[in-house]
Amino acid sequence: MRSYREYCSVAKALDVVGDRWSLLIVRELALRGACRYSDLQEGLPGVSTNLLADRLRELERADVVARREPRPPVATPVFELTEHGRELEPILRGLMRWGIRYMVDGPAPDDRFRGRWLTWPAETFLADHEPDAGPGRIELDAGDERIAVDVEDGRISVAEPDATDADARVEGTPHMLLGLLTGHVGIDDAIAAGVSLDGSRSLLERVLPAPRSAARSA
Amino acid sequence: MRSYREYCSVAKALDVVGDRWSLLIVRELALRGACRYSDLQEGLPGVSTNLLADRLRELERADVVARREPRPPVATPVFELTEHGRELEPILRGLMRWGIRYMVDGPAPDDRFRGRWLTWPAETFLADHEPDAGPGRIELDAGDERIAVDVEDGRISVAEPDATDADARVEGTPHMLLGLLTGHVGIDDAIAAGVSLDGSRSLLERVLPAPRSAARSA
DNA sequence: CCGCATCCGGGGCGATACTG
DNA sequence: CAGTATCGCCCCGGATGCGG
């Protein structure tokens, strides 16, 4: 991008990450950790391949992204955030929270979705309201890929689902799952709208936020 | 801007404020409060008039900016942030802090500057290290416009300079003033580099951060 | 197959001129 | 003062090619 040519720190930051796709590339690297070029493509539906290569180069030059060439057995380079790049995460989480209002009405007809994008909403909006109730795991399944929400000692963390079987499994559309996480949809309304809940309902109730104005129960 | 068409809250936020100049317009409105079209032009050197008009329209549609038409005696419309728009301020402050690293080497030859852009750095990096020492005011003058830093009861706030005369006045290049605020330049080095300090040096020392690695004293 | 580089078409962007 | 109008240009997007 052309520089704003302003001696202002906000403008300088945007000179570096204000380009189209740049912050979404950082989002993907922050959510995935180190990953390959094709992983980034999968997590950034809509990006064109030349743009992705261009941005990665620019971000590498600006010390936001580092490219590692693995040892000979593995041939494909791996991209990851530098420490400086990782410092963008709170800003991205801020944008996530700010943008929630544009999500509550559901996706546009041709919006793409990846389950991983629920990670920050889960960590932001969920809370353990019964810290003494012991650990538990909730699996969220929005169709394409699942995430695991771990609840323990008053803390919420998100992991990739592994062999560990969850105490509760919630399956539904991205719109409904996000509505549950943000409190815009209550459990009963979600189930009425097609969400399926297997396992411990009480574990889910333990972490969900209090319903917001738009969420009425039947 | 074209939508990213991703059902992700970060992407949706960038659909709204990811356009070129959009976040800088929000910066200017956050720093100034309600102001006129020409005020925005003055605070956004480099923006073209059609872009500014376009962005203001888009931001108004997205409920980030509100346009008020004053009563007949005053004929010119006034722009201000909505409540939703004001919620971008912590994000902009985060970008400011993140971008500081691109400022420490000084401005590019053709960078523009406005004194108001020192407001957030002052509020971020200064601190009252002697909360019981009584109130004081420091005026920062980078040539084009001044800002007043008020120190009182352990708190730092920035105001526009008025008739109140300051206890200390610091005058110098934007680069040197920012270096002082961030701790990259010590007082003595700043003075040696051409910064002029009138009034209470101790008041300045009371609020400046501890020098960072790059700041050596002579 | 993965990781890009190249090649256009279209539109966002930048600079200037102009008008109520 | 507050924009609108116009016109290039270059960035972006989509498709394709191609070497390792």
Tell whether the torsion through CA atoms of B112, B115, B120 and B125 is positive or negative. positive
Q: Tell me the shortest Cα–Cα distance from A76 to chain B, in angstroms.
A: 27
Q: Considering chain B, what percentage of its residues have pLDDT values greater than 70?
A: 96
pTM listed for this prediction: 0.94
- Nearest nucleotide by C1' position to the A76 CA atom: C2
**A173 contacts: CB under 8 Å, gap ≥ 6:** A142, A143, A194, A195
Confidence tier at B218 by pLDDT (50, 70, 90): very low
Task: Give me the pLDDT at residue A205, please.
Answer: 97
Cα(B62)–Cα(B84) distance, integer angstroms:
9
Residues of B in contact with A25 (CB under 8 A): none
The set of strand C positions with any atom below 7 Å of a protein CB reads 1-7, 11-17
Which residue, among A63, A4, A65, has the nearest Cα to A53 in the 3D structure?
Answer: A65
Average pLDDT over residues B99-104: 96
Average pLDDT over residues B57-83: 89
Q: Is the CB of A23 under 7 A from strand D?
A: no
| Tally of CA atoms within 13 A in the half-sphere of A208 that contains its CB | 25
Tell whether the torsion through CA atoms of B19, B23, B29 and B35 is positive or negative. negative
Cα(A24)–Cα(A145) distance, integer angstroms:
19
The phi and psi torsions of A146 (rounded to 5 degrees) equal -105, 155
What are B110-147's pLDDT values in tens digits?
Answer: 999 999 999 999 999 999 999 999 999 999 999 888 99
Q: Tell me the shortest Cα–Cα distance from A2 to chain B, in angstroms.
A: 10
**Residue carrying the six token digits 């407001």:** B119
Residues of B in contact with A173 (CB under 8 A): none
- Nearest nucleotide by C1' position to the B75 CA atom: D1
Nearest residue of A to residue B142 by CA position?
A: A7
Q: CA-to-C1' distance for A214 and D16, Å?
A: 48
* Residue A172 · residue A198 · CB < 8 Å: no
Which residue, among B175, B147, B141, has the nearest Cα to B162 in the 3D structure?
Answer: B147
Nearest residue of B to residue A118 by CA position?
A: B8
* Residue A211 · residue A180 · CB < 8 Å: no
Q: Tell me the shortest Cα–Cα distance from A142 to chain B, in angstroms.
A: 12
**Which positions 29-48 on chain A have a beta carbon less than 7 angstroms from any atom of strand D?**
46-48
| pLDDT tens-digit profile, chain A (218 residues) | 789 999 999 999 999 999 999 999 999 999 999 999 999 999 999 999 999 999 999 999 999 999 988 776 667 889 999 999 999 999 999 999 999 999 999 999 999 999 999 999 999 999 999 999 999 999 999 988 899 999 999 999 999 998 878 999 999 999 999 999 999 999 999 999 999 999 999 999 999 999 886 555 54
* Residue A121 · residue A96 · CB < 8 Å: yes
Task: Give me the pLDDT at residue A102, please.
Answer: 96
Coil, strand or helix at B36: coil
Coil, strand or helix at A105: coil
Q: What is the 3-state secondary structure (H, E, C) of B46-77?
A: CCCHHHHHHHHHHHHHCCCEEEECCCCCCCCC
Chain A interface mutation, best of B7, B23, B103, B178, highest count of A Cβ atoms under 10 Å: B7
Residues of B in contact with A14 (CB under 8 A): 23-24, 95, 99
What are B157-184's pLDDT values in tens digits?
Answer: 999 998 878 999 999 999 999 999 999 9
Q: CA-to-C1' distance for A162 and C18, Å?
A: 66
- Nearest nucleotide by C1' position to the B49 CA atom: D3
